[in-house]
Structure 1
Amino acid sequence: MTNLDANRPAAAADDEKRRRRGRWKMLLVVLVCAAPMIASYFTYYVVKPQSRNNYGALIDPRQYPIPDLGSSALDGSRAGLEDYRGKWIMLQVDRAGCAQACRDKLLTMRQLRLMQGKEMERIERVWLVTDKEPVETMLIREYDGTDMLRVDAARLKAWLPTEPGTSMEDHIYLVDPLGNLMMRFPKDPDPNKMKKDISKLLRASAIG
């Protein structure tokens, strides 16, 4: 047996060790990157759940990732909820005509964002318009800062869960920075109670 043949098993063993070390390093990098997300969900969903007193209804985010809603900006250009990944999204749904209940939701979302103080930049407000009718120019100006997207109403209805006896237009929803629906507020909500829920989520989360 030549020296070359004798060295081959040792070299193969060294290569396998390097591969194992490389895999462990890659796993460590993934865990470090995912740690803030894991910690925030563990804190909110697992640690002392019996002590929580949420106003909004918690939704398992793993079951409601943002689907393809066939969405676009009001001018027809490409736009979607996935564009807000990395931010919390307060979401409302209504027709372009936007009756008083719709305007009340727009006002509530604007107030809630302002009420978060220095944390407000972590939150985006979005109105999903479910028909093709024009939105009043004055309404767009009045609620400047609320992004308005047209969506396919059937796809949206298949995504958003509702309370018994209500429709998706009755609620304000919250989407997390990973793009998952995670909370639904009741019809005609109390803004002060909503503020407490949102503040708790922002404090518990290391993302967004």
Structure 2
Amino acid sequence: MSEPSPSQDQPLGLTVHSLPTPSEAGAQNARSTRRGRWTMLALALICATPVIASYFSYYVVRPEGRRNFGELIDPQRLVPTVTATNVAGQPVDLTTLKGQWLLVSVSGGACDSACQQHLYMQRQLRESLGREKDRLDWVWLVTDDVPLTPELRPVADVATVLRVPPAELAKWLVPAAGHQASEHLYVVDPMGHWMMRFPANMDMGGAAKAKRDLERLLRASVSWDNAGR
């Protein structure tokens, strides 16, 4: 009977592998846990980077003063807790304007030619933003009880028109020295902070510069501000 060759299978030949000690196993688990945490942290930072950059751009760097057409307001003023009324006479909390960029004009209900020019300019500025226009609301704040003329009532179909007590409004939106509130257009950020004032009695040439300001603001906030409230 021939001897089995060394290359043949040895069914009873078992390989014994050493098992890690409890302390070694604990160390391996700890290393795996730390590695997993660092991986999750890295992924979170990668995802958050665009948002952090946009916040930094808007709140820290912000549009440079020398490049702005509009005047930056410092300190910014938060929308007051005031009860306004809409064109139907229903009460509206002014703080409900939060959640959207606002382009605001102020005047009495009679709305003279300068007021009408502002309303037209607001509409044109918003439309000129193209696909970004839904991130900017057109707001007309009326400071008296004068009824809107039939020609102006259609504005309420496309803009937010609210009557606000002038004394309360003056605590929020303030004109430049020597001017009246109705001579400016105002920009309010989605948190409700009045943060920019365009020059008084702005013409259409100024409106083109105002558009560039608005575009920069919308770009700086693109990662954290969405259209609609």
- TM-score normalised by L of structure 1: 0.76
How far does residue 142 in structure 1 lie from its aligned partner after superposition? Answer: 5.2
How far does residue 41 in structure 1 lie from its aligned partner after superposition? Answer: 4.3
Whose Rg is larger?
Answer: 2
Specify every segment of 5 or more residues in structure 1 that has no aligned partner in the other structure, as ranges.
1-28
Residue 193 (structure 2) aligned to one of 176, 180, 195: 180
* Pair 1:57-2:71 in alignment: yes
Give the distance between the partners of 1:88 and 1:74, measured in 2 at CA. Answer: 21
- Which residue is equivalent to 2:14? none
Superposition CA RMSD, Å: 2.4
How far does residue 96 in structure 1 lie from its aligned partner after superposition? Answer: 0.2
- Which residue is equivalent to 2:87? 74
Between Structure 1 and Structure 2, the one with more helix by share is 1
Give the distance between the partners of 1:48 and 1:119, measured in 2 at CA. Answer: 19
CA distance 1:39–1:77, change in 2 (3 Å): farther
Residue 201 (structure 1) aligned to one of 217, 221, 225: 217
Equivalent residues of 2:71, 2:198 under 8 A apart? yes
AA partner of residue 138 (structure 1): E
Which runs of structure 1 show a deviation greater than 4 angstroms over 4 or more consecutive aligned residues?
A: 48-52
Equivalent residues of 1:89, 1:124 under 8 A apart? yes
Specify every segment of 5 or more residues in structure 2 that has no aligned partner in the other structure, as ranges.
1-43
| Corresponding pairs, count | 175
Give the distance between the partners of 2:70 and 2:218, measured in 1 at CA. Answer: 14
How far does residue 40 in structure 1 lie from its aligned partner after superposition? Answer: 3.3
Equivalent residues of 2:76, 2:195 under 8 A apart? no
- Of all paired residues, the percent bearing the same amino acid is 40
